Amino acid sequence: MGIARTSLKGVTHYVPSKAYKGYTLFTPMFGKDAWLIDMQGRIVHHWSTEPYKPNFARLLTNGNLVYQGVKSGGIMGPGVAYLFGEDYEQSEQDRGVCLIEVDWDNNLVLKYEEPQFNHDFYRMENGNTMLIKYVTVPDDIKSKVKGGIPGTELSGGVMWADALNEVTPEGKVVWEWLSYEHLDPEIDVICPLEYRGEWTHMNGCNVLPDGNVLGSFRQTNTICIIDKATGKITWRWGAEELGHQHEPTMLDNGNILVFDNGAHRFFTQDLDYYSRVLEVNPATNKIEWEYKDDPPSEFYAFGMGGAQRLPNGNTLICETHGGRIFEVTPDCEMVWEYVSPFYGPFLVYGQANLIYRAYRYGHEHEGLIGKNLDPDKFKWLNGIYGPDAT
Amino acid sequence: MGIARTSLTGVTHYVQSNAYNGYTLFTPLGTRETMLIDMKGRVVHQWKMPYPPALYGVFLESGNLLYGGHVEKGPLADLKGAGGELIEVDWNGNAVWNYQDRYLHHSFCRLFNGNTMVLRWVQVPKDIAAKVKGGIPGTEKEGIMWGDSFQEVNPRGKVVWKWLAYEHLDPEKDIICPLCPRSQWTEANSFAILSNGDILASFARLNTICIISKSTGDIKWRWGSGGELGHQNGATILENGNILLFDNGTHCVHFSEGYSRVLEVNPATNKMVWEYKDDPWMAFYSAYMSSCQRLPNDNTLICEAATGRIFEVMKSGRIVWEFVNPFSASFDPVYGHNRIIPRAYRYSPEHEGLQGKGFRVFSLFPRRSKI
């Protein structure tokens, strides 16, 4: 069970002897800030992301910060537009979607504009960036797509899917993969409780050491490996196990870590809703590690969320809806927990402290070497949001 | 937002001037103890029961407790809400009446005439089951689809009226949620008796509440399957004729889930006339069970089962009383080390059944953590 829910804020639990020490990076949803906090929950660095509201940011080994710049907030795709009865295409122009890289002092290093850029991106070894973008499904393929709620294509019968683009630092697209060319309408079936405005809703992309891409498709409850050379899907998993999962990553041992939200999970026996974090072996499709709470219902985010395997074998988990970031050992013992004290309006859902994803960077992380990480720089803010806040 | 989640237990909030004073009755899941607590969270009366609850017990005007027990070795004991025996005991726990039926489940209701309406599982005939749409293909329970039946039982245990859901439902309209197994067509989980004797029933798997005519058996009204409800519970009828229910918000379409709400619906217009949601919406959520009760001062008592939280809200949505279950249940393979309270009811000190009863504070538990 979580040590805290909404009544406690900041770091609520910390076992220094077992936690992976470092700094945690997150961007409160619908805010314009990236915060780096220490293990005590003190702010040690801050980037303003004005005028953008990124879902999350990554720290690079050169100390730069990369994020998706979206003026309206990073989840405003066709899915959310559908929820509010809006037309996604019409709202495209003012969304100003781009990839932003800034240095430690927030000087702009790179800006790549792509109106259909969504969800995730990955900085590759060669300096290029892999990113996801929305594309429409051609009519002849669209009619073959199965599942979803009949008749819920968007106005004009539009169905969206996703593409992957590899983009150079100069903004040149050097590789493109169109999901609808490689998905199989017989296998890649939309969840029966989802609309048909999107076939895939790709929400994660991770470039593997061999250059292949690990992707996540929310609509079809599937994670897959895409062969970089041929574009073929060489492995897919999850339709019988996952419920609108997020952020698969490949671990050093070749297994895949994924945040399984649990929403619309294909249960045959019980209806208990809970999230879990899974480590699955893609060679055997066996689940080799699982974290869920006890009771299971105490850990649940129906959307968003993520997990990161840390160098000491622990796992950092971000439970979006409680604004809760926590670290568990391989034995599933919680050794660090933080509840975001940053609140803001979350669409129509009210005031919330949502965090889409979080990342921990160890003290030895290259990007942090030589940086001033003194929490006293933020004495005033830490008096409000830090461990001494009342 | 709820004033407390898991870190606080007992009565966490109490606004005396706005709350409806009384005693709150509940039985934590997996325990054999029914508790009556006062507004400060002190246990003032307790019944030891022979079985854990199917879901709950209610307090009668006679001062007796009518309780649905979960008989662990029943033929369908593995289905959620499985009962098996209805037990009536007096204030001191002495047995007054019981009714055994291994297929009882979820809910029951004592009628004005002294009879008891019970809910039981019956097999859906194979030819009808074959016509039922929806659900995950091939997930019948050992080839069988179970449906619901209401039975009116007199004090001698004789069945004097019976209604079979499969005779009145329409396979073209009453379609199982696409993510639910076909082990049950309907999964009735709560019902209430209208003043004219008709039955208001909640069919969870159909996302439907309906009114059943007592005289003809016809379904006179149905609502909820158009995306309004997500596996709802706790259907109750109000004095103004409206329906108050707990919409769990599970298996809803697209992103419109992950939060619960309590709704008041006018069955004459199918319009929602009142709604309670938390701020943010996700901070109030129970995927299963749960109940709601409109109180005489117009407040609403809500039981959020999954978190063991019972709270009272004003019409404005302001919370004026909150209690978090401090009693943890034994381990459950599905729910883990939980503190689920399936349902809760508030009774005023003027309630007939409470007259002349000597209350005493049974224990120091539940401790008050913060008021």
B335 → closest Cβ in A4, A272, A351? A272
Nearest chain A residue to B231 by CA distance is A271
Residue A78: which region, alpha, beta or left (left: phi > 0; alpha: psi -120 to 50)? alpha
In tens digits, chain A (390 residues) has pLDDT values of 344 455 678 998 899 999 999 999 999 998 999 999 999 999 999 999 999 999 999 999 999 999 999 888 877 788 888 887 777 765 555 567 999 999 999 999 999 999 899 999 999 999 999 999 999 999 999 999 999 999 898 888 899 999 999 999 999 999 999 999 999 999 999 999 999 999 999 999 999 999 999 999 999 999 999 999 999 999 999 998 999 999 999 999 999 999 999 999 876 556 568 999 999 999 999 999 999 998 888 899 999 999 999 999 999 999 998 899 999 999 999 999 999 999 998 888 888 999 999 999 999 999 999 999 999 999 999 999 998 775
* pLDDT value of residue A82: 82
Angle at B362 between CA B361 and CA B368, to 5 degrees: 70
Distances (CA, A) of A296 to A253, A292, B37, B65, B332: 27, 6, 27, 32, 11
Domain boundaries, chain B: 10-22+103-354
For residue A378, the Cα-to-chain-centroid distance in whole angstroms is 28
Does position B53 have pLDDT exceeding 90, yes or no?
yes
A194 → closest Cβ in B181, B254, B280? B254
A301 CA: distance to closest CA in chain B (Å)? 8
Sign of CA dihedral A219, A224, A225, A230: negative
The answer, for A332 touching chain B at a CB cutoff of 8 Å, is no
CA distance B265 to B245: 8
- Most B CBs within 10 Å, among A268, A291, A339, to test the B interface: A268
Note whether B7 contacts A266, CB cutoff 8 Å: no
Note whether A80 contacts B259, CB cutoff 8 Å: no
- Report the number of distinct structural domains present in chain A: 1
CATH code of the domain covering residue A106: 2.120.10.30
Question: Containing H/E element for B188?
Answer: strand B188-193
Percent of residues, chain B, with pLDDT higher than 90: 84
A228 CA: distance to closest CA in chain B (Å)? 31
A299: containing domain: 10-382
Note whether B136 contacts A296, CB cutoff 8 Å: no
Does position B328 have pLDDT exceeding 90, yes or no?
no
Per-residue pLDDT band at B360 (split at 50, 70, 90):
low
Note whether B258 contacts A346, CB cutoff 8 Å: no
Q: Is residue A4 part of a domain?
A: no
Note whether A349 contacts B282, CB cutoff 8 Å: yes
- Structure tokens belonging to residue A118: 């969504």
DSSP state of B32: S
* pLDDT value of residue A273: 83
The whole-number average pLDDT for the span B143-153 is 98
Q: Is residue A2 part of a domain?
A: no
For B108-130, what is each residue's pLDDT tens digit? 999 999 999 999 999 999 999 99
- Name beta bridge partners: A225: A214, A235
Does position B65 have pLDDT exceeding 80, yes or no?
yes
Residue A307: which region, alpha, beta or left (left: phi > 0; alpha: psi -120 to 50)? beta
* pLDDT value of residue B3: 43
In this structure, which CATH number among 2.40.30.10, 2.40.128.630, 2.30.30.240, 3.40.50.300 belongs to the domain B10-22+103-354?
A: 2.40.128.630
Does position B359 have pLDDT exceeding 80, yes or no?
no
Q: Is residue A217 part of a domain?
A: yes
CB A27 within 8 A of CB A358: no
The answer, for A45 touching chain B at a CB cutoff of 8 Å, is no
User: Which residues in chain A (287-316) have CB-CB distances under 8 A to chain B?
Assistant: 293-298, 300-303
The answer, for A82 touching chain B at a CB cutoff of 8 Å, is yes
B136 → closest Cβ in A2, A266, A297? A266
Q: Is residue A67 part of a domain?
A: yes
Residue A269: which region, alpha, beta or left (left: phi > 0; alpha: psi -120 to 50)? alpha
Residue numbers in B near A352 (CB within 8 A): 280, 282
Backbone angles phi, psi at A377, to 5 degrees: -60, -25
The whole-number average pLDDT for the span B192-221 is 97
Nearest chain B residue to A321 by CA distance is B282
Whole-prediction pTM: 0.93
